[in-house]
Structure 1
Amino acid sequence: MKLTSTEKQFSILFFIIVLFELITGSTENLKTVHYIAKPAIVVSLIFLFIKTSSLLLKSIKNLTLLALVFSLLGDILLMFVEKSPLFFTTGLIAFLLAHIMYILIFLKHRNRKKSALAFVIFLLIYASGLFYLLKDGLEEMLVPVIVYMLVILGMVTFAFLRKGNVNPLSFKLILIGAIFFMVSDSILALNKFYQPIPLSNISIMVTYSLAQYLIVLGILKLKK
């Protein structure tokens, strides 16, 4: 993957921030620092994007920044789920809006000649298996979770439908990032509604961080 010098320098800083978040999130006496480390992941991406997106279309820039701001809001809200279930619901809404912003970006480069039938069937099989495991634990969250699942499946599908209409690097980065986002959300859902998963905080944050990193880089590569 070809990165500019700015992107290379940022990547080192970004993964240091992610490592810092993983350490503070897993260490009880560093929980206070965790409240800074976790939002710093998306904040750093916002700064990178603002600095390096001057050649992108204004609509893509604005939608990407909205997606990142909604993600940041979701990150902050989900840090307080132990205090009230409301924080989980509002965090879910924030990430739902972030996914919608990404969908709107991906739709701009949709290849209408590309069929996604086989890919969608694969996603539906995956989602059906996940829902089968989750359904008994969802209770009042049944409808919100179904809506969220449909939106993120749409986000991954429209990432796939960019094939042939954007450069190969942008396509691959965004598709892999979208899949990582789906995996991250799946682990989070399983951990919350099915059964606790060992080291779930680490697997959720690693996949989530990679998702946001790859999607933002993929959008930046549109200018190439």
Structure 2
Amino acid sequence: MLHIFKNEKKISIIFFIILTIDILVKLNLSPFPYRYISKPLVIILLSLYYYFNTNERRHKKKLWITLALFCFLVGDMLILKHTNIIFLSISMFFFAMGKAFLSLRLSHRSDFNIMRLIPFSMILFTYTFFIVSFLYNSLKGFFIPALISFFVSLLLIEFAFLRKDVVNKVSYLYVLLGTVFYVLCESMIAIKTFKMDLPMQDVLIMAVYGIAMYLIVFGIVRENKKGGGISFF
């Protein structure tokens, strides 16, 4: 069994099979009990892949990833009852904490070009301003929590961006693309929850979320590996 988790291609195939099953369950079966079984498997599989393949030397880095994945797992379970304001609020908290722990993991002490960061930050700020403005009248009591959540997302994607030239190219692109997908997924969830339905939302949200987490975890595992081509399967 262990050799499966060591094989990137095999575990990738298994992951996308599980992700597809979860989407099909979401489309065709009731949340309880079926999605309470299928949905957590996505994060659990990624957690096992990270555990068996990481070669992190610093204990804190392992801790940040472990805590992040745990928070995403709890958030995934709670958001299944997003129509309940209490469960929705707690799920937002856990997702925000998951992003915060990921940001801590992606941070580094190397110098970076501030001039390169400014235009990127302006693009992120413009996007966030647009989303918040679009949702403003619908957020009501969730305005501050949503604002905080989007702010943490900005930090996450900026830390991913600042890894350029610090880690290998494959890891950098995986994680950066993964954070972009995550922010896109988060935006779709916010629009669906607070504003209006989206075309194919049930498929798109889970697919984008799954791909985002896959890219982030696999990218972090590849961080200390030299060379290697970019392959998503």
**For this structure pair, what is the TM-score category when the shorter chain's length is used for normalisation?**
over 0.9
- Superposed displacement of residue 28, structure 1: 3.3
Equivalent residue, structure 1, for 2:208: 207
Is residue 177–residue 210 contact of structure 1 (8 Å, CA) maintained in 2? Answer: yes
The reply on whether 1:92 has 2:92 as its aligned counterpart is yes
Equivalent residue, structure 1, for 2:229: none
**CA distance in structure 2 between the aligned counterparts of 1:78 and 1:158, rounded to whole angstroms:** 26
The reply on whether 1:149 has 2:182 as its aligned counterpart is no
**CA distance in structure 2 between the aligned counterparts of 1:41 and 1:109, rounded to whole angstroms:** 32
Post-superposition CA distance 1:91-142 (Å, at most 9, x none): 0000000000111011126542353111111111111111111000000001
Is residue 56–residue 223 contact of structure 1 (8 Å, CA) maintained in 2? Answer: no
Partner SS for 1:162: coil
Is residue 78–residue 88 contact of structure 1 (8 Å, CA) maintained in 2? Answer: yes
Q: Which amino acid aligns with 1:171?
A: Y
Q: Which amino acid aligns with 2:108?
A: K
Distance 1:99 1:197, change over 3 A: same
Equivalent residue, structure 2, for 1:163: 164
- Segments of 5+ residues of structure 1 without an aligned counterpart are none
Equivalent residue, structure 1, for 2:35: 34
Equivalent residue, structure 1, for 2:13: 12
**CA distance in structure 1 between the aligned counterparts of 2:204 and 2:139, rounded to whole angstroms:** 22
Q: Which amino acid aligns with 1:150?
A: F
**CA distance in structure 1 between the aligned counterparts of 2:89 and 2:110, rounded to whole angstroms:** 31
Q: Which amino acid aligns with 1:127?
A: T
Q: What TM-score, normalized to structure 2? A: 0.90
**CA distance in structure 1 between the aligned counterparts of 2:72 and 2:100, rounded to whole angstroms:** 11
- Superposed displacement of residue 222, structure 1: 1.4
Matches within 5 A, 1:168-183: 168-183=169-184
| Count of residues paired in the alignment | 220
**CA distance in structure 1 between the aligned counterparts of 2:41 and 2:120, rounded to whole angstroms:** 34
Identity %: 27
**CA distance in structure 1 between the aligned counterparts of 2:127 and 2:144, rounded to whole angstroms:** 18
- Segments of 5+ residues of structure 2 without an aligned counterpart are 226-233
